[in-house]
């Protein structure tokens, strides 16, 4: 087994490498003067089982091209099997045609990865589970729930915790976490008038006196979370903490979260945290390296990955 890392999240790649006890393969990813990407594998990969670690986070197009070019270099170097390990799968929110004359970009990206030469894909908390069906190769969608569950149990008395879905679409994800910690479930019913803005309309459930845990897959602008926190506190919640898998946190999101009524925003390192995220007083990062490392190890040994979440 060999592990090749792109430039999107070197810190996570090194953590996974350390967990597996396998050093990162020597691979140079650099730019020409006109910013074209050039990849050179600096060790033999012929006949090897290779895992390419690369989140397609901001800048999404650059990191996606890096992933595709690394896969192509491995295919042309006669790697036996290539697994694209994509902790954060960019373009996942474009998984259907929301209106006329629009693309399904998630399907296009799936086609690109497949045709580049990947034999398998490992990803984490896809925005929509059906994106697995966009790939014509085996795709394992891991879940951050075990990592979050461990952290919640270490910090909260689960007798007083309530899990909250910030919208109707995330109920399945929130219910799964609530079941793990044996906590009740509430739902925030919101209406979005235009992209990037949301208005909380109603809380389905009684959060009075509870430590509320908001659960979602992506935090981008942070508007939904901050509005949901205010609505829950207005309904009598004791505190509101958010556990989100992918901390996109674009634009002024970090400042918005820092000045909000959220007790804490907990994100994973599926996307490399920026300096602003690391400096924020109420944003904390937990590592998915052991989870991803174990999934990689089981894939290499042809063992069950789904049993990680049983």
220 annotated as belonging to a binding site for a ligand: yes
Q: Which of 59, 83, 121 is nearest to 4 (CA)?
A: 83
Q: Is 222 annotated as a binding-site member?
A: yes
- Name residues whose C-beta falls within 8 Å of residue 245's C-beta, 6 or more positions apart in sequence: 124, 125, 144, 216, 217, 218, 267, 268, 270
Is 223 assigned a ligand-binding role in the annotation? yes
Does 182 show up as a binding residue in the annotation? no
Beta bridge partners of 104: none
Q: Please state the φ and ψ torsions of residue 72, each to the nearest 5 degrees.
A: -65, -40
Q: Is 167 annotated as a binding residue?
A: yes
Report whether 216 belongs to an annotated binding site. yes
Question: Three-state SS for 175?
Answer: helix
Is residue 35 marked as binding? yes
Based on the residue annotation, tell me whether 179 is a catalytic residue of this protein.
Answer: no
Q: What are phi and psi of 81, to 5 degrees?
A: -145, 135
Select which of 107, 190, 261, 263 is catalytic: 190
Binding site annotation covers 102?
Answer: no
> How would you label 9-24 residue by residue, b for 16+ Cβ within 10 Å and e otherwise?
beebbbbbbebbebeb
Where helices occur in the chain by DSSP H, the ranges are 10-20, 60-76, 105-116, 145-155, 171-181, 223-234, 253-258, 275-279, 289-300
Q: How far apart are CA 302 and CA 310, in angstroms?
A: 18
As given in the structure block, the two tokens for residue 105 are 């970009």
94 is in an annotated binding site: yes
Active site residues: 190
Cite the annotated binding site for D-ribose 5-phosphate by residue number: 192, 216, 220-224
Cite the annotated binding site by residue number: 34-36, 93-94, 127, 167, 192, 216, 220-224
Cite the annotated binding site for Mg(2+) by residue number: 127, 167
């Amino acid at each position: 087994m060999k592990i090749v890392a792109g430039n999107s999240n070197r810190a996570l790649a090194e953590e996974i490498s350390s967990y597996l006890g396998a050093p990162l393969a020597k691979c140079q990813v650099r730019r020409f003067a006109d910013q074209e990407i050039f990849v050179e594998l600096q060790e033999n990969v012929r006949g090897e089982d290779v895992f390419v670690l690369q989140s397609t986070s901001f800048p999404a197009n650059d990191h996606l091209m890096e992933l595709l070019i690394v896969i192509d270099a491995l295919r042309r170097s006669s790697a036996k099997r290539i697994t694209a390990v994509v902790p954060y799968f960019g373009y996942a929110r474009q998984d259907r045609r929301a209106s006329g004359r629009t693309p399904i970009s998630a399907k296009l990206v799936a086609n690109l990865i497949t045709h580049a030469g990947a034999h398998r894909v490992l990803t984490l908390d896809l925005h929509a589970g059906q994106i697995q069906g966009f790939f014509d190769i085996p795709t394992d969608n891991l879940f951050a729930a075990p990592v979050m569950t461990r952290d919640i149990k270490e910090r909260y008395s689960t007798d007083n915790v309530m899990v909250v879905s910030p919208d109707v679409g995330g109920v399945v994800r929130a219910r799964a976490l609530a079941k793990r910690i044996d906590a009740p479930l509430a739902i925030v019913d919101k209406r979005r008038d235009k992209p990037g803005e949301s208005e909380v309309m109603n809380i389905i459930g009684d959060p009075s006196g509870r430590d509320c845990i908001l659960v979602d897959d992506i935090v981008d602008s942070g508007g939904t979370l901050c509005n949901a926190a205010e609505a829950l506190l207005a309904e009598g919640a004791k505190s509101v903490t958010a556990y989100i898998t992918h901390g996109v946190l674009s634009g002024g999101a970090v400042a918005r979260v820092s000045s909000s009524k959220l007790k804490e925003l907990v994100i994973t390192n599926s996307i490399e945290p920026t300096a602003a995220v690391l400096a924020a007083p109420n944003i904390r990062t937990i590592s998915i390296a052991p989870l991803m490392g174990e999934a990689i190890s089981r894939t290499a040994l042809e063992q069950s990955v789904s049993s990680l979440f049983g």
